Every structure is written in structure tokens, then in C-alpha cells.
Structure 1
């Protein structure tokens, strides 16, 4: 529970920092395509940082009861951020297109995370 609040806050902090870094430090490095990719990575990182905070709060308040599904959701979202946003950050900087093949793994992990939240709340919710 606490681990997802902390990891969500860390991912939120990093999303803000990386967004600002792109705007100020990478303005002369990234072309429009790279800047768009970077912005998408920041956006999805922040969305899922918020998702991690929600998971952590649900777990800490014992709102659900059985937290196994929420635990899986949290780990999927953390891994999804690494695969999805991480691959896009590297792609934006390097231009190595093959990294785009890694991004969908993160997207699938995001979907699994959200599905586990839905499943757990419907099945275990008080």
C-alpha cells in the first residue's frame, strides 16, 4: 500500500521534472516528432502515477478488503511506466525506431493494471 503511494509520487515528480526538462533543456535537441513522443511519455507517466496513488489509498484505507488484485494492478502500472514511458523517452532522444516495439508492452501492462482495479473493486469491494 505505502509502496504504491510512494512510487506514484515518485513517478509524478519525475513526470513534472522530465516535462520541464524537455521544455527547457531539450528544446534545441528534440524535433517536433521527438517532442511529441516525449510529451506522450510524460502524459502517460502522470496518468499512471495518479493511478498508483489511487491504488495505494484504496489499500491503505482497506476499502477493498482483499488487496491481492490491487497489488497486481500496482506492479503492472509501475512496470507499464517503465516500458511505455521509458521506451518513448529513449526513442525521443535516440531516434531508434525499434524501441517503438517495446512501448506496446507497457500499454498492455497499463490495461492489465486497470482491469485488475475493476475486477478487484467489483469482486471484493465492500
Structure 2
């Protein structure tokens, strides 16, 4: 198990809950519904990838691979770029932020791929 990753995932989860609560309560009073929906999408993916980081951290108990480290790194970068850009867009409405979001999505996809490769390459039980 990777204790540092679990700590970072716990902090990421805390941030996701705080941002989700703000989006559900505070943002509704200052932003139009379409921007609130975009913010909520950012929170959803923030949560999904926080859970992915937890899975990677626990996988380190059984799998020893640098690919797990890279997968976790890419999940964090993906959260920052994908969810972060959606949060920023919901606050500002600035269209220039749009191209950042797919870069975060690509990081998330690559993180999942590396996670899968680390699992597939592990010489453990083949069941």
C-alpha cells in the first residue's frame, strides 16, 4: 500500500466534497444552471479519480510497478486539468479555458491505461 497516495487521495476527497457542497449551495445563487451543471461534472470526475487513486494505492500492496506511480500521477494531473478547468470555467465563463479540459481527460485515460497494464503485467495468480 502506498501511504502517501492514500493521504493525497483523502485530501482530494475532502476538496471534492467541499467543492461539491459549494456547487450545490453557493454557486447556484451566483451562476446560471448550465455553469452549475459544468461545475458538477468537474466534481463528479474529481470524485471518480480520487477513488481511482485509492485503488492504485491499495494495488501497491500486491503489485510492484512504476506504472502504478505514473497512473496515480496522471490521475492527479487529470483532476487538476479536467476538473480544475471546469471549476474555473463555471466561475468565469472564459472560453479560453476550453482546450485545457480535454488535456485533463487524456491524462485520466492514460492513467487508466497504465493502471490496466500494471495489472496485466503482474505475474500473480492468473484467475
TM-score, scaled relative to structure 2:
0.93
Q: Equivalent residue of 2:29, what SS?
A: coil
Gapped regions of structure 1 (runs ≥ 5):
none
2 CA distance for matches of 1:22 and 1:116? 32
Q: Equivalent residue of 1:30, what SS?
A: coil
Tell me the equivalent position of 1:98. Answer: 96
RMSD: 0.9
Tell me the equivalent position of 1:87. Answer: 85
Say how many residue pairs are matched. Answer: 123
TM-score, scaled relative to structure 1:
0.94
Change in Cα spacing, 1:9 to 1:125, as seen in structure 2 (3 Å) is farther
Bigger mean CA deviation after superposition, 15-24 or 81-90:
15-24
2 CA distance for matches of 1:15 and 1:106? 16
CA contact (8 A) 1:7 1:78 kept: no
Gapped regions of structure 2 (runs ≥ 5):
none
Alignment partner of 2:110 out of 109, 112, 116:
112
